[in-house]
Structure formats: C-alpha cells, structure tokens
C-alpha cells in the first residue's frame, strides 16, 4: 500500500494554483481590456463549447441552476404542468422545475444511479410536459429509452447536464439530446471556473433566441429594444475567458479521470461488499467522464469514518437523501429503490490533484476496512 498520507476529498486552492500563472495572465488581459460583460471571450467560449459538444447553440449563463430554469421556461413549461426527474439529484433540478411554476415529480434511480425509464412511464399523467434526466456523476442516462417515452407521449426532454460535460451515450454528448439543457461550471465540476458559472444548450433556433432574451433583461441582442421580460443571467466574460482556456485541455482531463476510475476498478472490483460505478470501458453505449466516483457500501457511515481516521476525505452527495425524502418541500412519494441506493452512497476522491499513489492509498485503506 502507498505510504500514509492525507487525501482531501477536494482541493479547492488547486483549482487556481495548478495553473496560477496562466489564469493570472488571463485576468490581467481581460482587466486591461475592460472586457467584463458580454464580450469576445464569452462569444469565443460559447462557439468552442458548442463545437466541442456537437450542438448548434451554447450560451454562457450565471450558473447551472439558472440555466435549468431558463431551459424549462424556454420550452414553455409552467403553471399546471408536471416534470419528471430522478430523485437522486441535486435539489437545483427540482427547484428549477418548482420555480418554472410546474410540479416536480420524482422518479426512481437505476443501478447506475441514473433515472429509471420504466418508472418514468408509470408517472406520466395528462399534465406531464417534460422529463428532466440528470446526467449524474458524469454518465448519461439511457437516452434512447427516455426519447422513446418522450416520443410516445409528446413530451420534451430537458437535460440537467450539470455534471456531464463530455459524457456520451451512443456517441452523442450529454446536453445535446433534449430541446434544452443546462450545465454547471461550479469550481468542483470537471470543467470548473473560479466562481459560479453555467451554460445552456439547444439545437432549436427559437429556444436559443428565447435564452438570449431571458439572459439579458429581455433585450433584443441586435437592437437593444426590450421585447420580453428578462433577467440578468449572464456568465461573466472573465469566467468565460478562464473556461475557454480550460476547455482546450479538457480531453486530457477526461482521459486522466477515466484512468483514475480504471485504477479504482482494478483495486476494488474483487470486494463483494462494494458496488462500483460502471467501469470506463469503450465497448458499451456509454462513455463516462467521472465527475464523481460514487460507490455503494452497506455500512456507509462506518466506512466513511474509517476513511476519515486514515486521512481520506469523502462526500455523501446531498446528505444521502433522495429529493422525495425532503418532506418539508411537500413531497409525499415513497421510492424504495432510490431510498436503498442513497442510504449506501459515498463519493471517493476523484479530482485532478490526485496522484496514482493517492488513489492506491484510498484503495489500500478500503481493502483494510473490508479485511482484504
């Protein structure tokens, strides 16, 4: 086993320090140009991001949560509508549905921690207008099954792709399947900025025009005339400049994350008590980018404490609760499969500051815990 060390779950200073010189130069350049709001760096980033994803339109916005709300509104979702989402997600998914005026309807979670299309089918009513799958942990949901359901019932798909930049299903990227989608550039995301940031996507020109209006006070971007109600939902030009720089190296980052996932797989796959995420193979329909490495273990809290005693940081996404378990928000559903899954989930360290020895150490402590 690699020698004893501290492996924090996430190293926030590293987001800046690992390329301090380049980022400082970008800051100086943007500052000296006074290019703060809706400037060239943002336009460049949007163009490069759309190209990278294979989508017609990408638009930088204030954060992923605002982006989800924009995408719902642009698709005409509102009062009296229902939107089905996976209960194992961040509250932002459901909150965006709530703030659109629609009712969030939580669905069950599958073995791979994605929305269960079979359960989605049972939740459809005359009020259902959309399905909002979360492309969780850097993996796509089964978009073929979801698309079929959407087609059969005349529903929109709007993706919560906050954790999914670069993940593909049958060669198509997260964020490009639905009529709209949103992504997050929160600093801990695989493509993170130095603060809050996000993007919305679409292949539909009308949706794009609507995004533009919502983002900038309802002003027509060509004439400046106010033609609709809008807000200030813009991505800072400075953040766009940082992101544009980072996007160039993004394929290398994905490669490294898949390599780390491969190491976890190799060192832990023989432990029956742990359920690992799908391995980083190239053979099936999924290409995962490992935003997170989420495993399931029976005595999760005890395992977490054992890792902590040995200097290893972990995180339990959203407190180990499905959204439907947040009863104070008015949810009354019971989703046994999701409840079982979230009672066992724990994220092991997965980020670019980790060395191979760090991963080996985390795996060594895990093996010790399971007496392997």
Ligand X SMILES: Cc1ncc(COP(=O)(O)O)c(C=O)c1O
List residues near ligand X by CB under 6 A. 63-65, 89-90, 92-93, 134, 160, 162-163, 184, 186, 196, 198
Which residues lie below 8 Å from residue 339, measured CB to CB, with a gap of 6+? Answer: 322, 325
* C-beta closer to ligand X: residue 92 or 179: 92
Chain-centroid distance, C-alpha 289: 11
* C-beta closer to ligand X: residue 35 or 95: 95
Residue 48: both structure tokens together: 């490069």
Smallest separation (angstroms) from ligand X to the CB of 198: 5
Smallest separation (angstroms) from ligand X to the CB of 322: 13
Q: Angle at CA 279, nearest 5°, toward 275 and 284?
A: 125
**C-beta separation of 239 from 195 below 8 A:** yes
Smallest separation (angstroms) from ligand X to the CB of 82: 19
Q: Residue number with the shortest CB distance to ligand X?
A: 64
CA atoms within 13 A on the CB side of 162: 27
Burial of 1 (0-12, 13-18, 19+ CB in 10 A): exposed
Smallest separation (angstroms) from ligand X to the CB of 140: 13
Question: What gap in Å lies between CA 229 and CA 292, rounded to an integer?
Answer: 37
* C-beta closer to ligand X: residue 93 or 100: 93
Task: Name the CA radius of gyration of the chain, rounded.
Answer: 21
* C-beta closer to ligand X: residue 10 or 370: 10
Smallest separation (angstroms) from ligand X to the CB of 86: 9
> How many CB atoms are located within 10 Å of the residue 343 CB?
16
* C-beta closer to ligand X: residue 239 or 366: 239
């Amino acid at each position: 086993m690699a020698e004893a060390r501290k492996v924090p779950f996430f190293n926030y200073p590293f987001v800046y320090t690992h390329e301090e010189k380049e980022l400082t130069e970008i800051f100086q350049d943007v500052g000296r140009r006074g290019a703060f709001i809706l400037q060239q760096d943002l336009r460049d980033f949007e163009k490069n991001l759309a190209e990278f994803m294979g989508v017609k339109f990408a638009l930088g916005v204030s954060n992923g949560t605002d982006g989800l709300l924009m995408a719902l509104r642009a698709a005409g979702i509102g009062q009296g509508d229902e939107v089905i989402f996976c209960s194992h997600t961040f509250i932002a998914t459901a909150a965006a549905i709530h703030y659109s005026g629609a009712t969030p309807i939580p669905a069950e979670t599958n073995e791979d921690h994605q929305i269960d299309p079979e359960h989605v089918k049972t939740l459809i009513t005359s009020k259902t207008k959309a399905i909002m799958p979360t492309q969780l942990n850097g993996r796509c949901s089964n978009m073929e099954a979801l698309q079929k359901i959407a087609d059969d019932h005349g529903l929109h798909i709007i993706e919560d792709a906050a954790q999914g930049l670069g993940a593909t299903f049958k060669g198509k990227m997260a964020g490009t399947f639905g009529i709209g989608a949103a992504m997050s550039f929160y600093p801990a995301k695989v493509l993170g900025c130095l603060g809050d940031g996000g993007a919305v996507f679409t292949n539909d020109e009308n949706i794009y025009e609507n995004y533009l209006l919502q983002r900038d006070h309802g002003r027509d971007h060509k004439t400046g005339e106010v033609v609709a109600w809008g807000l200030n939902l813009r991505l800072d030009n400075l953040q766009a400049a940082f992101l544009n720089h980072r996007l160039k190296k993004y394929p290398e980052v994905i490669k490294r994350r898949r390599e780390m996932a491969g190491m976890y797989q190799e060192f832990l796959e023989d432990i029956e008590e742990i359920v690992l995420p799908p391995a980083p193979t190239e053979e099936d329909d999924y290409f995962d980018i490992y935003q997170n490495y989420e495993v399931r273990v029976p005595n999760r809290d005890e395992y977490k404490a054992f890792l902590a005693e040995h200097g290893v940081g972990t995180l339990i996404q959203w407190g180990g609760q499905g959204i439907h378990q947040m009863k104070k928000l008015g949810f009354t559903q019971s989703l046994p499969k999701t409840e079982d899954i979230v009672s066992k989930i724990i994220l092991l360290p997965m980020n670019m500051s980790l060395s191979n020895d760090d991963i080996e150490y985390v795996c060594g402590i895990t093996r010790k815990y399971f007496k392997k």
